[in-house]
Amino acid sequence: MEEATKHLHDTIPTAQTYMVDSDLKLPNIPHHGRPVTLATDFTIDKENMPHNYDLLNLHLHGLEVETHLFHPQGTSKSDAPWISLDVDECYCYRFRLPTTHPTGTYYYHPHRHGATGMQTWNGMWGPFLVTGGLDDDLADMTKNNTPHIDQPFFMWDAHVHRAKNHTEWEGRRGSGDESTLVETDDFLRNQAGQAEHIFVMVNNEFQPTLSMNTSQVMRIRLLCGASENMCGFRLRHTQSKVIVPLYNVGSDGRTWARAYTKQYMILMASQREEILIQIAEAGLYEATRPSARLFGGCTKSRANGQEFVLSTDMEFAKNERGSNEADITDVEIMGQGRIDFAMNTDVRILPFEQYVIDNKSYNVNRIDQMAQRLQVEEWVITNSQPTVHPLHIHVNPFQVKEVRTALENQIEFTDYITDTSTPMNRWRDTAIVPPYGSLRIWTRYAARAYGKTVFHCHFEAHSDTGMMSNLMITRHDTDKTSGADESTRTKS
């Protein structure tokens, strides 16, 4: 079957990718709905044009493990290349999950620069659960006569075009015709607008029905597996529209000591939220994304007819195997960083638009930020434009200290987005950099992780087209390059 193997990574999209008509001299592309004429003497930034579609590697998102993106795994060489698997190749990764690792919902996805967007919006990602903690709390609850259901709720923004609705798309999938899937070339021509329909799939199904009864507690593991959209979640009675309170007991793979009640949840791409619900009255309820403007419909759940046990006085994480990392105090801060996320619109450069950090597109050989193990830093990430970007930093979590936007009271859910008080100092691996605003975080570089890694926007089309930076974490007192180079790459 050798001749049937199609190597997609040999083809880097060209100016042709951008053509709306066949007139090469006047490439027209829409920008915020208006046509833009590219310069005739444009240059192509090949590294940041989506490509390498059939090359792969592995990222364990949010897990507090060793660095693992560049070859050899754990390398401290500034020009180390991406770990990159071609067809029929395999790579031996070594990870040690500390016995004190927080417990909860994580996930994995490929992270090869240039291909991540297309691979993930076509569905190449999955959950990674670290057990213990809340699992044990809920097992105790079950022993005390309140049975619980562990319900995944993994949301995915399947990108579809040339299909009028979800049914038509499913029909084509069934017949093996995948032509409705949006590929990167389509995306480049028209950004997200090319996807005529973005269906929110839940656990890989469209509007699945979930069941529970009123004697049960449901633990819902919300995971926003969207590659370039936010996810939302609200549960209400289908007829009366009465909202079911959500007991939010953890975020991004960490369980808190108590629950906080919420009416709805807004998740940025790649974020996770742990929710407990209990339904007092039997009936049909619907889970929706809480805004018609920002979001579309999701799923339905049924409950049939005990005592309400959930409260914000309940204690959780008492069974956590290790203590959660101590909160950072301001006297620990040793350094400060300021980073700017932006979208440039230079008509002489492809890809158009250019997604940049500190006005630079990604360069695999350039170290943009240096840090040292055990160092504690404050970072402020700014965004002076109307776009939203989810910041993700690899292998080290951070505490969200402040989220600001000049659009206060002008966009929906600003209250939720800017609220850092419930709980205060929330540890996350991904956080929103809002439009016309900023994100302020505190981070402590762990002893376990060092070497070359990255931070980036988790809208993968943005990171594939440049919005990513290399971060070098040096070992304490030894700045020189060295690596835990035990990994091997083999042909299988």
> What are the structure tokens assigned to 2, written together?
């050798």
Judged by beta carbon, residue 387 or residue 453, the one nearer Cu ion is: 387
Beta strand 430-433 pairing with 389-393: antiparallel
* DSSP state at residue 209: E
* DSSP state at residue 427: E
Minimal distance, residue 269 CB to Cu ion, in Å: 9
Strand order in the sheet with 104-109: 59-61, 104-109, 126-130
454 to 145, 217, 353, 372, 468: CA distances (angstroms) = 46, 39, 21, 14, 7
427, 254 contact by CB (below 8 A): yes
357 to 44, 362, 368: CA distances (angstroms) = 18, 8, 9
Judged by beta carbon, residue 440 or residue 462, the one nearer Cu ion is: 462
267 beta partners = 231
Q: What is the dihedral of CA 162, 167, 173, 175, to 10 degrees?
A: -100
Minimal distance, residue 439 CB to Cu ion, in Å: 12
SS3 assignment, position 34 = strand
459, 390 contact by CB (below 8 A): yes
437 beta partners = 383, 405
Minimal distance, residue 341 CB to Cu ion, in Å: 7
372 sits in the region (left: phi over 0; alpha: psi -120 to 50; else beta) called beta
148 beta partners = 217
CA 75 to CA 435: how far, in whole Å? Answer: 35
Q: What is the dihedral of CA 8, 9, 15, 19, to 10 degrees?
A: 30
Minimal distance, residue 449 CB to Cu ion, in Å: 24
Minimal distance, residue 355 CB to Cu ion, in Å: 6
Minimal distance, residue 458 CB to Cu ion, in Å: 7
Judged by beta carbon, residue 118 or residue 141, the one nearer Cu ion is: 118
Judged by beta carbon, residue 200 or residue 342, the one nearer Cu ion is: 342
Minimal distance, residue 431 CB to Cu ion, in Å: 13
Minimal distance, residue 114 CB to Cu ion, in Å: 16
Judged by beta carbon, residue 117 or residue 250, the one nearer Cu ion is: 117
358, 55 contact by CB (below 8 A): no
CA 217 to CA 462: how far, in whole Å? Answer: 39
Judged by beta carbon, residue 29 or residue 342, the one nearer Cu ion is: 342
Minimal distance, residue 428 CB to Cu ion, in Å: 16
204 sits in the region (left: phi over 0; alpha: psi -120 to 50; else beta) called left
CA 68 to CA 413: how far, in whole Å? Answer: 35
**What letter represents residue 412's amino acid?**
E
SS3 assignment, position 370 = strand
Judged by beta carbon, residue 278 or residue 470, the one nearer Cu ion is: 470
Judged by beta carbon, residue 69 or residue 269, the one nearer Cu ion is: 269
Judged by beta carbon, residue 27 or residue 351, the one nearer Cu ion is: 351
* DSSP state at residue 361: -
Minimal distance, residue 33 CB to Cu ion, in Å: 19
SS3 assignment, position 433 = strand
Judged by beta carbon, residue 7 or residue 338, the one nearer Cu ion is: 338
458, 428 contact by CB (below 8 A): no
The residue ranges that bind Cu ion (CB under 5 A) are 389, 457, 459, 462
Minimal distance, residue 410 CB to Cu ion, in Å: 20
Minimal distance, residue 391 CB to Cu ion, in Å: 9
Judged by beta carbon, residue 228 or residue 273, the one nearer Cu ion is: 228
CA 398 to CA 431: how far, in whole Å? Answer: 9
Overall size of the chain counted in residues? 492
Judged by beta carbon, residue 210 or residue 230, the one nearer Cu ion is: 230
